[in-house]
Amino acid sequence: MSKARILIVDDERLNINVMISILSEDYELVIAKSGEQALKRVAAQAPDLILLDISMPDMDGYTVFERIGEMTGGKRIPIIFITAMRSPEEEIKGLKMGAVDYITKPFTPSIVEVRVANQIEAKRNRDELERLNRTDALTGIANRRRFDEYIMLQRESIVRSEAALSIIMIDIDHFKQFNDCYGHGAGDDCLKRVATALASKLDRTTDFIARYGGEEFVVILPATDSEGAAQCAERLCEAVAELEIAHDESGTCGHVTASFGVATLLPEQREVSVEDLLEWADQALYQAKTSGRNQFHI
């Protein structure tokens, strides 16, 4: 497991050196000596935890706290105030703002060590839950929830990027018979293998695949026109057939196959919604099914 990254924000070198001596062995440390620097470091390095001084000349810790909150939105980074301000009012204010902890100076190093470790552990647990919440448990690829987020992001960015956005709806052919023939366990194995094969054929880092429902998958191809999407669909179609998973009643080639529906949204089609795009892909998929399966349609 890689070391967690902690951002230390303090205007005094001496304080920073103390924190380094306590934490440098167990964590990757990033240092900022002012609020402005802290904001830059947060944007560039996405720390797992921030230790934030309150009294600083250019921008105080409370302001830094708020600015970081605005920058990171929902994905809030845990922040511990470490400060010489010892009054209960200050501590209450810091905690009410949403700081995960409040440590007053002078502090006992070993106590800081434990409190930091606890917050890092909590952050790891939250991140893992977050990941599971967006992952399909059977196949390990993204789930429907993650798909909904990603497609909305891409729908928004198309306005700026002026590039086409394509999606491919995928449905395994005669999968009910496959389950009936070979059993539900074999069906699950088949879904895993198909998901892995499909994912391995996507080549851009922005390409995305999710399990859409039972034996349905969906691919998102940002900055891809219908020609590019058709090429991709053909490659995916071959990839499923080439697994050569036996299926006596496939109706096609004796192997498990899938059908594909491609739809493309052009940048000038401002009024078209994500739902419309999905509907187009569904219609194309239906065409592929009625035209004999094991193929794609646009």
The residue annotated as part of the active site, out of 215, 242, 244, 275, is 215
Q: Which of 121, 184, 206, 291 binds ligand GH3 (CB under 6 A)?
A: 184
- Spell out a b/e string for 279-294, using b for 16 or more CB atoms within 10 Å of the CB, else e: ebbeebbeebbeeebb
Q: Which residues, listed in sequence order, are joined to residue 165 by a DSSP beta bridge?
A: 222, 265
Q: Which does 53 bind (CB under 5 to 8 A by kind): ligand GH3, Mg ion, none?
A: Mg ion
Q: How far is the CB of 213 from ligand GH3 (least distance, A)?
A: 7
Listed in sequence order, the residues at least 6 apart from 60 whose beta carbon sits closer than 8 Å to its beta carbon are 35, 54
Q: Which of 35, 187, 222, 261 binds ligand GH3 (CB under 6 A)?
A: 187
Give the span between the Cα atoms of 114 and 23, in whole angstroms: 10
Under 8 Å between Cβ of 189 and 196: no
Q: Which of 41, 47, 53, 154 binds Mg ion (CB under 5 A)?
A: 53
130 given a catalytic annotation: no
Q: Which stretch binds ligand GH3 (CB under 6 A): 15-23, 148-156, 180-188, 229-237?
A: 180-188
Q: Which does 184 bind (CB under 5 to 8 A by kind): ligand GH3, Mg ion, none?
A: ligand GH3
Q: Is 11 in the site for Mg ion (CB under 5 A)?
A: yes
Give the span between the Cα atoms of 188 and 214, in whole angstroms: 10
- Spell out a b/e string for 212-246, using b for 16 or more CB atoms within 10 Å of the CB, else e: beebbbbbbbbbbebebbbebbeebbebbbeeebe
Q: Which is nearer to ligand GH3, 174 or 297 (CB)?
A: 174
Q: Is 214 in the site for ligand GH3 (CB under 6 A)?
A: yes
Q: How far is the CB of 261 from ligand GH3 (least distance, A)?
A: 12
Cβ–Cβ contacts within 10 Å for residue 296, how many? 26
Q: Which is nearer to ligand GH3, 81 or 217 (CB)?
A: 217
Q: Which stretch binds ligand GH3 (CB under 6 A): 28-36, 104-112, 170-178, 276-284?
A: 170-178
Under 8 Å between Cβ of 231 and 262: no
Q: Is 80 exposed, middle or buried (0-12, 13-18, 19+ CB in 10 A)?
A: buried
- Contact residues toward ligand GH3 (CB under 6 A) are 138, 171-176, 179, 184, 187-188, 191, 214-215, 289, 293
Catalytic residues: 215
